[in-house]
Amino acid sequence: MADLMRIRAQAAGDKATVRVLMSHEMETGQRKDAAGKTIPAWYIQQVSAVHNGKAVLSAQWGPAVSKNPFMQFTIKGAKAGDKVAITWVDNRGETRTDEATVS
Amino acid sequence: MLKTSTIVALAVAAACAQAQTKSAAESIAEYRALLAEGNPAELFEVKGEDLWKKARGPKNVSLERCDLGKGPGVVKGAFVELPRSFTDTGRVQDLESRLLSCMEMLQGFNAAEIAKTPFGKGEQASLEGLVAYIAAESRGMKLDLPQGHPEERKFYEAGKRIFHFRSGPYDFACATCHAEDGKRIRLQDLPNLTKNAGAGAGFGAWPAYRVSSGELWGMQRRLNDCFRQQRFPYPGFVSDATIALATYMGVNGKGVPSTAPAIKR
């Protein structure tokens, strides 16, 4: 089971800034281990954000994104008390969804 | 119209000149500030808190009765007073050494075996989370290592000697790079660990998340790697030598707020 994401969502004016920290290896598939064997690629491919049930962001990621990635974006019209859910899917088909409340 | 574009051009030129005069250190500080907003050390803190509260080990108990120096179970403020002398073990211990003692005494783990485990593997990986969590609980508090016990003063003096001890194929000491103001290696500014500000900033930043390797390093890993970089023999996990060095730096940094777990290059 993948580890918990850290999501912070803060409203200011008519916008909310969302900061997400994901826990993922993001292995590129280019590296070799101590025995010289290629370490298989393992990275997040799809990221999506849902604000009160409505999709607001969808991104395609690749192996160039760092380990334990950090993502920040703003949602127009979001206010305190709203729900923001983030989902990622990696190339092994593993997925994780976490939800936060805008403060 | 012509006039406005000239003004814009001048403004751009001025901005460029300003960018050029910004020192390398300032640019690195800016880069670190950007990274710090999403410091992945936080992911380790969450794991560490779970590990602290979870019943584990052969005896299946949690670490919540572990005494880090401020009484059993007190986490807040413990980090800024370590290393210190402990009566139950009769040793001066740093955070990692103390955690090993607790894991052995309370949970029934084999401390010697964990000390031999390579960094980042098995229970060493658990230690990374634990140190991140415990350090984070004291974030912003001032370093205040006790020096009341004669052993603690002895460790300070031993640490001072090790810090200045030149040896190895490079005839190197910690002091070669870390005992002068304004030194740097490539673009990295080196803190002067013999002075209050430098020691506080340097010592008070570890454990830290290293962006280059995507790992969380505790003070023990940091110090053991310092010895490797000097081509010294491996002093060993939670060895007295590393704890003495930590005592020396920590006492020098007295009163400086702890920023651990920080983020490093």
What's the pLDDT tens digit per position in A3-61?
888 899 999 989 999 999 999 999 999 999 989 999 999 999 999 999 999 999 999 99
Of the pLDDT bands very low, low, confident and very high (cuts 50, 70, 90), residue B1 is very low
Are the beta carbons of B43 and A68 separated by less than 8 Å?
yes
- Whole-number mean pLDDT of chain B? 88
User: In A, residues 39-98, which contact B (CB 8 Å cutoff)?
Assistant: 66-68, 70, 72
Contacts of B47 in chain A (CB under 8 A): 3
Mean pLDDT along residues B121-127: 91
pLDDT beyond 90 at B175 = yes
Q: How close B48 gets to chain A, by Cα (Å)?
A: 12
B32, B76 in Cβ contact below 8 A?
no
Is A57 within the bounds of a domain? yes
Range among B2-11, B16-25, B109-118 with highest mean pLDDT value: B109-118
pLDDT beyond 70 at B109 = yes
Q: How close B45 gets to chain A, by Cα (Å)?
A: 11
Residue B102 appears among annotated catalytic residues: no
How far apart, in whole angstroms, are the C-alpha atoms of residue B123 and residue B126? 5
Q: Which residue from A7, A6, A22, A23 is spatially nearest to A83, judged by alpha carbons? A: A7
Are the beta carbons of A68 and B47 separated by less than 8 Å?
no
Is A69 within the bounds of a domain? yes
Beta-bridge mates of residue B262: B208
pLDDT beyond 50 at A83 = yes
pLDDT at B28: 76
A30 inside 8 A of chain B by CB? no
How far apart, in whole angstroms, are the C-alpha atoms of residue B183 and residue B201? 15
How far apart, in whole angstroms, are the C-alpha atoms of residue B192 and residue A103? 42
Of the pLDDT bands very low, low, confident and very high (cuts 50, 70, 90), residue B2 is very low
Mean pLDDT along residues B231-250: 93
HEC letters along B43-80: HHHHHHHHHHHCCECCCCECCCCCECCCCECCCCCCHH
B171 inside 8 A of chain A by CB? no
Is B136 within the bounds of a domain? yes
Alpha-carbon separation of residue B25 from B29, B49, B61, B174, B211 (angstroms): 6, 34, 47, 22, 18
pLDDT beyond 60 at A66 = yes
pLDDT beyond 80 at B13 = no
Where residue A59 sits, what CATH number does that domain have? 2.60.40.10
% of chain A exceeding 90 in pLDDT: 80
Is B14 within the bounds of a domain? no
Is A1 within the bounds of a domain? no
- Whole-number mean pLDDT of chain A? 92
Is B32 within the bounds of a domain? no
B134 CB neighbour count, 10 Å cutoff? 28
Domain of B77 in residue numbering reads as: 38-264
Q: Which of B38, B47, B211 sits opposite A19 (nearest CB)?
A: B38
Are the beta carbons of A72 and B37 separated by less than 8 Å?
yes
Is A28 within the bounds of a domain? yes
Number of structural domains chain A divides into: 1
Where residue B116 sits, what CATH number does that domain have? 1.10.760.10
pLDDT at B184: 85
Number of structural domains chain B divides into: 1
Domain of A20 in residue numbering reads as: 6-101
Q: Mutating which of B46, B126, B212 best tests the A interface, going by the most A Cβ atoms within 10 A? A: B46
Is A74 within the bounds of a domain? yes
Q: How close A70 gets to chain B, by Cα (Å)?
A: 6
Is B51 within the bounds of a domain? yes
User: CB under 8 Å to B17, separation ≥6 — which residues?
Assistant: none
**Which of B79-83, B135-139, B185-189 has the least mean pLDDT?**
B185-189
Q: pLDDT: is B137 or B21 the higher one?
A: B137
